[in-house]
Amino acid sequence: MFESYQIHSRDQYEKDYKNSLEDPEKFWGNIAEHFVWQKKWDQVLDWEFKTPSVKWFDGGLLNVSENCIDRFVKIDPSRIALIWEANDPSELPREISYLELQNEVCKYANMLQSRGVKKSNRVIIYMGMVPELVFAVLACARLGAIHSVIFAGFSAISIKDRIVDCEATHIITCDGTFRGAKCIDLKSIIDEAIFDLSFIKNVFVLQRTRQEVKMVEGRDVWIHELIDQQSDWFEPVAMSSEDPLFILYTSGSTGKPKGVVHSTAGYMIWANYTFINVFQYKTGQIHFCTADIGWITGHSYIIYGPLSAGAATLMFEGIPTWPNEERLWQIIDKHQVNILYTAPTAIRSLMVYGEDPPSHYSLESLKVLGTVGEPINEEAWHWYDQNIGKSRIPIVDTWWQTETGGIMISNLAGITESKPTYATLPLPGVSAVLKDQEGKNVMEAHQQSALFINKPWPGIIRTTYQDHARCKLNYFSQIENMYCTGDGAFVDEENNFRIIGRIDDVLNVSGHRLGTAELENAINEHPSVIESAVVGYPHDLKGQGIYAFIICQDTTTDHDLMTEEIRELVQAIIGPIAKPDKIQMVTGLPKTRSGKIMRRILRKIAEGEKSNFGDLTSLIDANVIDQILANAK
């Protein structure tokens, strides 16, 4: 099915890369032929980055759930689609065939429709990592509703912002979710988020933890009381290629997270193409991506990429370190996993326990390892290679973003070479360039610069929900006719890319994106805070830690108490992932005459630098630096 567009050699990679950029219409048109269309497209590609406007396969009609489920049911209804491993290893895993997945997705679609959900309505999904989350996502795709999955670690305030922004009318949630030793009360967080939102018509609640929850009459419904009455067939709705498939909120350099909108046809084809090529997936293999479906990695490489290729995708409810640090290795042997895709933070957190835990497992079923979400350091790369891959299988270091929909720069497992800490080569369709501030190309080896993409690929962000101007401003206005990634990178002599990380005001903490402005807004909500400035600093486990400098009204404030209050406040406003690691109370911040905080100085202080702050002539008061240094953490 996908074999004809899978890359089988380095030569083919080079040919396909060239063809994809020289004649994208022919290249992607040929690939699109391998999917199920209710009506073929009129035009493969129509684009300009000025507005921006990008249309792939315009005029075509298709349904993503039909492509991810029905076509494999026809081949073999008993083929396994989803393997679920519970948080607690003593709970039985679940295996769901493509036919069972079809039945469940159809029942969910019927349930949603019976409560008024229609094509293009927005549905919020706030659930733990259970198979029903996949049913809910694909049910939305089947009936044409736009899903917006919110990571189960976000707070009530963050959820409310997202619901209001996308004007969702329906929510699917669970009573609670298990994560390691914790049980998180998802339903009560939803209740808090929506208590004054009268436009919410229904909250569908899945019973998972069986804890007691409050049900609001007329609004809240138990899924188990509705689902059995539903028919197990739902005709897939014909969607236009450019209809939105989902909205996923992500942090940017401004205060408010933005709703990244992905399309139907282009996104699906990109998720599929990148999945089969980067991981070199072979029919019958089991793919295990440890991400949460609340992030883009879970969307593209737990759900849409693997299922559109007919793969068995493994989803894990728990965390890698509970009940002990052998959990991932145990899952790999238990289910004979072939592809493992995880984050450098997870690798670093398991590395701490040494070589012993993985040595208790064979791990022989593994064929490919992958990393995603943040730069991987050499030490973690080699530990992963030696202890998990037993130095016998390729590692793919995959660079991409919520906005790109799928992997953009990566080696192809066993086909193109890996190089520790390098994402290496752009995929076919990806025209990656490095630019200086004036917009000039900087392609000399080892010259760090800003990474841009100058042509559209099928999975490119289409808009930011309800705010196209913001999409243009954030991504398409830095250099004319270029998509701006916000990342810094350089190439080596062979044009392998190494990604350095964000060069805008976005932090990457344990592979999760957080905007400094978003963090500062939360901190400034504290009544005693006058001003704050947040920067990132290198953190052994998380990649980047959060360092907050704050000016308080009262200089005699108890520092420990204040630190505690601010950490709690940020947790309440954003979620636990956003809690600052270090908080320093200061009497002033380094500012220029125009009132701008010189963040590069704060960044250096946070990194442990004591001198060499560069040119300070534009500072109003350079003494402030000594005062900050005196109490630096």
Kind of pairing between the strands at 506-509 and 512-515: antiparallel
190 vs 479, which CB is nearer to ligand PRX? 479
How far is Cα 120 from Cα 134, in angstroms, rounded to an integer? 19
Asked if 449 touches ligand PRX (CB under 6 A), the answer is no
As measured in angstroms, the least distance from the Cβ of 399 to ligand PRX is 4
Neighbouring CB atoms inside 10 A of 84's CB total 21
Asked if 424 touches ligand PRX (CB under 6 A), the answer is no
Applying CB under 6 A, the span of 271-279, 362-370, 496-504, 529-537 interacting with ligand PRX comes to: 496-504
Neighbouring CB atoms inside 10 A of 101's CB total 26
Asked if 452 touches ligand PRX (CB under 6 A), the answer is no
Asked if 136 touches ligand PRX (CB under 6 A), the answer is no
Give me the helix-helix angle, 98-114 and 131-143, nearest 10°: 60
How far is Cα 491 from Cα 187, in angstroms, rounded to an integer? 47
Question: Measured between alpha carbons, how far is residue 50 from residues 254, 311, 439, 468 in Å?
Answer: 21, 38, 16, 12
- Say which residues have a Cβ less than 8 Å from residue 285's Cβ, sequence separation at least 6: 311, 312, 338, 339, 367
How far is Cα 196 from Cα 194, in angstroms, rounded to an integer? 5
Candidates 131, 176, 318, 373; binder of ligand PRX (CB under 6 A) is 373
Q: Which of residues 386-405 bind ligand PRX (CB under 6 A)?
A: 397-402
296 vs 393, which CB is nearer to ligand PRX? 296
Candidates 107, 179, 435, 502; binder of ligand PRX (CB under 6 A) is 502
98 vs 295, which CB is nearer to ligand PRX? 295
Asked if 549 touches ligand PRX (CB under 6 A), the answer is no
As measured in angstroms, the least distance from the Cβ of 374 to ligand PRX is 5
Helix (H, G, I), strand (E, B) or coil at 176: coil
Element (H, E) at 432: strand 432-435
CB 578 within 8 A of CB 519: yes
As measured in angstroms, the least distance from the Cβ of 543 to ligand PRX is 9
Q: Which of residues 234-253 bind ligand PRX (CB under 6 A)?
A: 250
As measured in angstroms, the least distance from the Cβ of 36 to ligand PRX is 27
Residue number closest to ligand PRX, CB atom: 402
Q: Which of residues 291-330 bind ligand PRX (CB under 6 A)?
A: 296-297
Asked if 501 touches ligand PRX (CB under 6 A), the answer is yes
Asked if 426 touches ligand PRX (CB under 6 A), the answer is no
As measured in angstroms, the least distance from the Cβ of 500 to ligand PRX is 8
Candidates 375, 405, 429, 575; binder of ligand PRX (CB under 6 A) is 375
Candidates 81, 145, 423, 552; binder of ligand PRX (CB under 6 A) is 423
CB 451 within 8 A of CB 488: yes
Applying CB under 6 A, the span of 42-50, 201-209, 212-220, 369-377 interacting with ligand PRX comes to: 369-377
CB 400 within 8 A of CB 414: no
Secondary structure (DSSP) of 548-605:
EEEEES-TT--HHHHHHHHHHHHHHHT-GGG--SEEEEES---BBTTS-B-HHHHHHH
Asked if 478 touches ligand PRX (CB under 6 A), the answer is no
As measured in angstroms, the least distance from the Cβ of 488 to ligand PRX is 9
Helix (H, G, I), strand (E, B) or coil at 430: coil
Applying CB under 6 A, the span of 3-11, 32-40, 199-207, 372-380 interacting with ligand PRX comes to: 372-380
476 vs 549, which CB is nearer to ligand PRX? 476
As measured in angstroms, the least distance from the Cβ of 214 to ligand PRX is 33
As measured in angstroms, the least distance from the Cβ of 515 to ligand PRX is 11
CB 514 within 8 A of CB 506: yes
How far is Cα 436 from Cα 441, in angstroms, rounded to an integer? 7
Residue among 117, 127, 176 nearest 150 (CA): 127
Interface contacts to ligand PRX, rule CB under 6 A: 250, 296-297, 372-375, 397-402, 423, 486-487, 499, 501-502, 508, 513
